[in-house]
Structure 1
Amino acid sequence: MEFVPSGKELSHFPFLKKAQDPIRSRFTSLGTLLGTPKGEALISQAVTRVREAVNPKKTRVPEVVGSPEDEIAAYALARIIVSCINDKQLIDRLTRYEAERAYYFLVNEEEWNSSYVQDDGEYSRLWRAIADELGIRIAQDRMPVPDYVELIAPLHDDRYRLVNRRVERGFVAINKNERYELLRERIRVLLRRELPHRVPKDICEQLAPRAAEIKKVYQEQMLRQFGRVEESAFPPCMQALITALAAGTNLTHAGRFSLTAFLHNIGMDKTGIAELYARSPDFDIEKTMYQVEHITGRGGTGTEYTTPACAAMQTTGLCVHRDTLCERINHPLSYYKAKKSRITKKFVPENKKPETSKDTAPPLKEETR
């Protein structure tokens, strides 16, 4: 007999086909719905969902608000809103949030699901249904090697590398925790692959005020995360690109793109970015501003790009002068954040030091993240 998830189960995993089909039939005209009180309520739920995804500190347990149908509709609207904004980092945040949310509900299924039934050993019927729909073939804690290799491609944890796994007769051994982790990664990749949606212009115009609200919150969060630009905290790859500029070296397209995206992502405005390029002897203000505006989303399609990860920097030959901190991170932005935090903790202006006794000096507070 085919397993049919309940409404509550579908609301916890709104990306499933059985969750989406009823919503499509219920809300046939999105444009009409958005202008109703019901539509406004759903948009508010969707905005809350995106804001939770943007928040770096997930302090609350994911909860279902309202009916299962409303929760699924809010999920769909959240994806539409970020598609209208079309910010790559924001889309990444939302898809990662949805994957983490699904992971939480799967790991804790026995606690919230009164219909919990083990279908195959320690596998629940719901886990099996989700894995089947997403194309994950795990049976008896084993996965076919080709499936495994495809699934772990975006993962950087050494324990997932095939050379570190037990492989027998074309199958890779998977333990209980990894089963959930691999499913989470599959959810993230598939949800990210679908975005951004092609949303009609009139729909995006209707959602523009709420989209602007999200963008403001996101920009404020990024400012709190990175704060004032600290050039001494730049990762070695970015320092090398700036040094090359000052030496009169013409950067490759990949080099210009990576540096510009990085500077924009940490909060430098386009004028500040252009000033760095002005260190180059062949500086062309018009050409530079055109490139900066394109990469930062100020011109053309409006797409805002993010800094390439360390793996991409290695592929393009831009990963140079690696240090000990590089060994522990996988993204230039992560390096910058960690290095800047170290610098901030080391430097305390004399006029900011609290008056304390010699024996009871308090530790410095951590930088707000």
Structure 2
Amino acid sequence: MIPDPRLATYPFTSDATAYVRDLGIPIPDLLEKHVYARARRRGMDRVIQAIEGGIKSNTEIPSELELLSYPIARMIVSCVNDDYLIRRYALAEAKAVHESLGTEQRDFLIAMGQEFGMRPTPSEQGFKMHFAEYVRYANRMHAPVWKLVNRRLYHGSVLLSLREFRRLLQEAIRDHIQQDLPLAVPPEIC
């Protein structure tokens, strides 16, 4: 049984990675043994759903198998080794967790942001982030509200609502997933 269900919700975190590593499941077992068949199917579903437009949460399988489906999906994407698929997959994984981020407490969001290189600080309205860091994550968003010229600055920091910070965190997660792909998957596995 998984110690914290959030590991399956946020499988790209260092805690989730450490948990999977500590399970000590050899890759051949993960890819061949019947006990992991549902995780393999879910991993394939993640990739297919990413291509089709969005990864849907799956509450029908145990959280440990849901967590194991993430490295399987990453292996599949890595074996295909297509830049478009990598970008599409990273975006879909990041979008899939955006709704879950809406239920999390501020401290959890700060810790997750810090894990991905962000340095948010709490403010009365939500969060503050240095303008250079803000630009790094907001540069792909084209709505006028995200342009730095349209933002309020306070001592070099951009003021963000909770909703806006979650959106920037989604971009940080996307970057994290995308930068880690493709994995060095042995040819005999692909």
Question: Normalized against structure 1, the TM-score is what?
Answer: 0.47
State the alpha-carbon separation in 2 of the partners of residues 28 and 36 from structure 1.
11
Q: Is the aligned partner of 1:131 residue 2:128?
A: no
Which residue among 163, 184, 204 is the counterpart of 2:170? Answer: 184
Q: 1:85 to 1:194 in 2, by over 3 A?
A: same
Shift of 1:183: 0.5
1:46 and 1:189, CA in 2 relative to 1: closer, same or farther beyond 3 A?
same
Shift >6 Å, 4+ stretches: none
AA aligned to 1:34 is L
Q: Secondary structure at the match of 1:64?
A: coil
List per-residue Cα deviations over 1:199-239 (Å, max 9, x = no partner): 101111xxxxxxxxxxxxxxxxxxxxxxxxxxxxxxxxxxx
How many residues in Structure 1 have an aligned counterpart in Structure 2? 185
Counterpart AA for 1:130: M
Match of 1:45 in 2: 42
Return the structure number with greater relative CO, CA threshold 8 A, min gap 6: 2
Amino acid corresponding to residue 19 of structure 1 in structure 2: A
Counterpart of 1:101 in structure 2 is: 96
Of residues 8, 17, 21, the one that matches 2:18 is 21
When residues 193 and 61 of structure 1 are mapped into structure 2, their CA distance, relative to the original with a 3 A threshold, is closer
TM-score (normalised: structure 2): 0.87
- 8 Å CA contact 1:12–1:64 kept in 2: the answer is no
Distance in 2, matches of 1:155 and 1:69, equals 34
Distance of 1:43 and 1:79 partners within structure 2: 11
Matches within 5 A, 1:143-292: 143-204=129-190
Identity of aligned residues (%): 30
Counterpart selection for 1:79 from 70, 74, 80 = 74
Aligned residues: CA RMSD:
2.1
Distance 1:20 1:61 in 2: 21
What residue is the counterpart of 1:299 in the other structure? none
- Structure 1, unpaired ranges of 5+: 110-115, 205-369
Give 1:185's aligned amino acid. E
Q: Does structure 1 retain, via aligned residues, the 8 Å contact 2:36–2:65?
A: no
